[in-house]
């Protein structure tokens, strides 16, 4: 499929504030992007027409109850069948920060069961007790089936901006299952690439196994707390003022890998 024929749906609701940033990344890569309010998608019922779905960052519905909860329950209660088919057709779904929280609340990921009726994980308040907003180091899991991380460097830097990013699972059995399936896509690490091992501030929120992002079993759905759209170009990187290099930032490959996957598969 030619890249200009690829259609990406970026879903927004009241409180979403990163839809424009995500759209700009995909447009820069030549894809056709439609930023749709959730109510419009409900009226149209045409999710199947898109090749990829993105849930961007922000504070959907004010993050009342808890982060991503209302958005997640809306997805599960009004679009469950459509989203299930979308995922089963192996179309890519990307949830960034608040989008990750919504995907977890909707039961889309981890995906131990097909679009679970109840969340199988949670993104709890940061252990630090406050909002974390800064650049962090990340390490991609080369053994993961995640289609979004195929072209990532071994270590990278993305910014974070969240108050509820501590990824937790209900028990050791779930932790082991996630590890065995290699569904851990990205982890927090030190500058040298060694895992943070829970140490603050390198692991900014206390996530189990230093998890910054996970995928479903097939790798076509990923949620992550850091913001790759804020590291898309090199002039967005924190050391740009020193090196003045143009070109790709560390987050570029997240978006390009998604489009390459669609080009090859559809």
Cβ contacts of 188-194, under 8 Å, gap ≥ 24: 188/136, 188/137, 188/138, 188/139, 188/212, 189/137, 189/138, 189/139, 189/155, 190/137, 191/137, 191/155, 193/137, 193/139, 193/154, 193/155
> Domain span at residue 192?
3-265
Buried/exposed 188-223: b ≥16 CB within 10 Å, e otherwise: bbeeeeeebeeeeebbbbbbbbbbbbbbbbebbbbb
- Give the pLDDT score at 114: 63
| Residue 53 CB coordination number (10 Å) | 23
Say which CATH number the domain at 65 has.
Answer: 3.40.50.880
Q: What is the pLDDT along the chain (266 residues), one digit of tens a residue?
A: 999 999 999 999 999 999 999 999 999 999 999 999 999 999 999 999 999 999 999 999 999 999 999 999 999 999 999 999 999 999 999 999 999 999 999 999 998 876 667 899 999 999 999 999 999 999 999 999 999 999 898 899 999 999 999 999 999 999 999 999 999 999 999 999 999 999 999 999 999 999 999 999 999 999 999 999 999 999 999 988 888 788 999 999 999 999 999 999 99
Q: Which are the catalytic amino acids? A: 97, 227, 229
Cβ contacts of 66-70, under 8 Å, gap ≥ 24: 66/105, 66/164, 67/98, 67/101, 67/123, 67/162, 67/163, 67/164, 68/98, 68/99, 68/100, 68/101, 68/102, 68/103, 68/104, 68/105, 68/123, 69/101, 69/105
Query: pTM for this structure?
Result: 0.96
Query: Nearest-CA neighbor of 218 among 169, 254, 181?
Result: 181
User: What's the number of domains the chain is made of?
Assistant: 1
- Give the pLDDT score at 115: 61
Structure tokens at 231: 């590291």
User: What residues form DSSP beta bridges with 250?
Assistant: none
Structure tokens at 44: 């149209």
| Residue 162 CB coordination number (10 Å) | 23
Which residue in this structure is represented by tokens 């290699």? 182
Which residue in this structure is represented by tokens 């030190």? 190
- Report d(CA 266, CA 250) in Å as an integer: 26
- Report d(CA 159, CA 251) in Å as an integer: 10
Residue by residue, DSSP assigns 104-156 as HHTT-SS-SSTT-SS-SSEEEPPTTSS-EEEEEEEEE-TT---TTSTT--SEE
The region that residue 252 occupies, defined by phi over 0 for left and psi between -120 and 50 for alpha, beta otherwise, is alpha
- Give the pLDDT score at 243: 80
């Amino acid at each position: 499929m030619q890249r200009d024929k690829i259609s990406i749906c970026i879903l927004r609701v009241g409180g979403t504030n990163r839809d424009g940033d995500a759209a700009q990344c995909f447009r820069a890569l030549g894809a056709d992007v439609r930023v749709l309010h959730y109510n419009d998608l409900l009226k149209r019922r045409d999710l199947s027409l898109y090749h990829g779905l993105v849930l961007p960052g922000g504070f959907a519905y004010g993050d009342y109850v808890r982060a991503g909860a209302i958005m997640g329950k809306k997805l599960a209660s009004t679009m469950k069948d459509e989203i299930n088919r979308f995922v089963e057709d192996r179309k890519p779904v990307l949830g960034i920060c608040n989008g990750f929280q919504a995907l977890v609340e909707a039961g889309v990921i981890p995906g131990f069961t097909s679009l679970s009726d109840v969340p199988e994980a949670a993104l709890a308040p940061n252990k630090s007790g406050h909002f974390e907003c800064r650049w962090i180091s990340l390490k991609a899991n080369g053994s993961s089936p995640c289609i979004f991380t195929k072209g990532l460097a071994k270590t990278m830097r993305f910014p974070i901006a969240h108050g509820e990013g501590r990824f937790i699972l209900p028990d050791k059995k779930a932790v082991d299952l996630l590890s065995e399936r290699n569904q851990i896509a990205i982890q927090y690490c030190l500058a040298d690439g060694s895992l943070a091992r829970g140490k603050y501030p390198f692991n900014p929120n206390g996530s189990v196994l230093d998890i910054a992002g996970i995928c479903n079993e097939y790798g076509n759905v990923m949620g992550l707390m850091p913001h790759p759209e804020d590291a898309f170009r090199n002039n967005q990187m924190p050391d740009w003022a020193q090196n003045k290099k143009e070109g790709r930032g560390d987050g570029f490959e997240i978006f390009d890998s998604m489009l390459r996957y669609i080009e090859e598969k559809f």
